[in-house]
Structure formats: structure tokens, C-alpha cells
Structure 1
Amino acid sequence: MKIIEVANVESAPNPHGVDARKIYDTDNALTVHMTIKPGQSLKKHMTPVDVFFYVLEGEGIVEIGDEKEKVKKDTIIDSPAKVPHTWYNESDKNLRILVVKVPKPKESTRLL
């Protein structure tokens, strides 16, 4: 059994400048715990694989393709491969999400 405490995983540098911690990284899948602070947003990008997001805490705005929606805690959002997407935190509280990529990408995410 492998148990990982998010607080013990270091945040990895990323082009978005947010707290992003790889908490599950195997040959088959990748999961990142991301904290987007008030006023922060991600740069629009595309992933080469399907992604789903699970909102752990807070609320934010997710944009996938031409759709933009306000979402809150305990929501799952599907983001198909190669469709531009981004997140915005316009609230006054942290937005914490799990980012799950399946299968684990073999190519890099592309910033737009």
C-alpha cells in the first residue's frame, strides 16, 4: 500500500504559476492536486489526453472549448483531449481541484 499526504508533496514549477503537486504518477494515469489562489488563472492550454477535474474546495470558472461555466465543490468536469481549456479563480477563497489525466500523456501539454 502506498499512502501520499498532499502536504508532503512539493509543488512543481509550471507555466501557470500555481501550486501544482503530482500526487499519483504511474504508467497508466497522472493526478495533480492544484490550488488556484484568489485572482489567479491558468493559461489556456490543450492536453493530448482526456482529463477530468474534481473540485475539492471553493468555486471557480472553467472554460473548455467554447463553453464557460461556474463550478463549485464536489463537481466533476470532463475535458476531452486536444480541446483548449483553462480555469479562473475570481472568488476570495482558494480553489482546489484534482486534475486526472487518463491515460498518462506521452506528449507535453501545449500552451496556446
Structure 2
Amino acid sequence: MEIIRIAELPQQVTPRGVKARTVLDVPYINIMNLTLNPGDEVPSHTTPVDVLFHIIEGEGSVTVGPETAKVKAGEIVVSPAGIPHALNADAGTIFSVLVMKIPNPKGKAK
């Protein structure tokens, strides 16, 4: 059995300026934990694979295509492959999101 303790994983800053931890990077899935400070955003972009956003802390908004929804801890948003998506943290709250890309667009484990 493997237990991943997300809070103990090393954290880096992404090119989009948010804190990120690599949770799992294997051929069938890539999972990152993004932590956005109040007011931070991940601008709209597309990925070639399906993406799930599992909100684990805080509140914010997720945009998928033309739709934007307010979300909070415990909710999951589905973003189909090739559809633009974005994240925005609400003012006054940390917004922590597990971003799961299925399958891993890199296609191989690190």
C-alpha cells in the first residue's frame, strides 16, 4: 500500500504563478495539488485530455468553456479534453484543488 501525504510533498511555483505539488505522475493519470492564494487565478487554457478539479479547501470559481461556477470544498468539476478551463480563488480564502488529468498527457511516469 502506498500512502501519499500531500502536505509533505515538495511544493514549487508553476509558470502560471501558483503553488503546486505533484501528487501522482504515472501513465494513466497525472494529479497535481494547486494552491491559489486569495484572488489568484490560473488563466484560461486547454489540455488534450480530460481534467477533473476536486476542490479540497476554500472557495473559488471554475470556468469550463463558456460556463463559470462557484465551487467549494468537496465538489468536483469535469472539464472535457480540448475545452478551455480556468480557476479563480475568492478573495479572503485559500483555494486548494486536486487537478487530475486523465490519461496523463505526458504518457509516462517521472
TM-score, length of structure 2 as denominator length:
0.90
Matches of 1:90 and 1:75, distance apart in 2: 15
| 3-state SS in 2 of match to 1:105 | coil
Matches of 1:47 and 1:13, distance apart in 2: 19
2:45 is matched by which residue type in structure 1? Answer: H
Supply the RMSD in Å over aligned alpha carbons: 1.4
| 3-state SS in 2 of match to 1:43 | strand
Quote the residue 2:100 is aligned against: 100
Matches of 1:57 and 1:88, distance apart in 2: 13
Shift of 1:76: 0.7
Q: Which 5+ residue runs of structure 2 have no aligned equivalent?
A: none
Q: Find out whether 1:87 has 2:51 as its counterpart.
A: no
Shift of 1:10: 1.6
Which has the larger share of strand? Answer: 2
Quote the residue 1:8 is aligned against: 8
Q: Which 5+ residue runs of structure 1 have no aligned equivalent?
A: 108-112
> Is the CA contact (8 Å cut-off) linking 2:27 and 2:106 kept in structure 1?
no
Shift of 1:6: 1.4
TM-score, length of structure 1 as denominator length:
0.88
> Is the CA contact (8 Å cut-off) linking 2:51 and 2:78 kept in structure 1?
yes
Runs (4+) of structure 1 moved beyond 3 Å?
A: none
Quote the residue 1:54 is aligned against: 54
Measured against aligned partners, the alpha-carbon deviations of 1:49-82 in whole angstroms (never above 9, x if no partner) come to 0001111111101111100111111111000001
Matches of 2:30 and 2:48, distance apart in 1: 13
Aligned residues: 107
Shift of 1:12: 3.3
2:42 is matched by which residue type in structure 1? Answer: L
Measured against aligned partners, the alpha-carbon deviations of 1:23-43 in whole angstroms (never above 9, x if no partner) come to 111111111111111010012
Matches of 1:74 and 1:97, distance apart in 2: 10
Q: Find out whether 1:63 has 2:63 as its counterpart.
A: yes
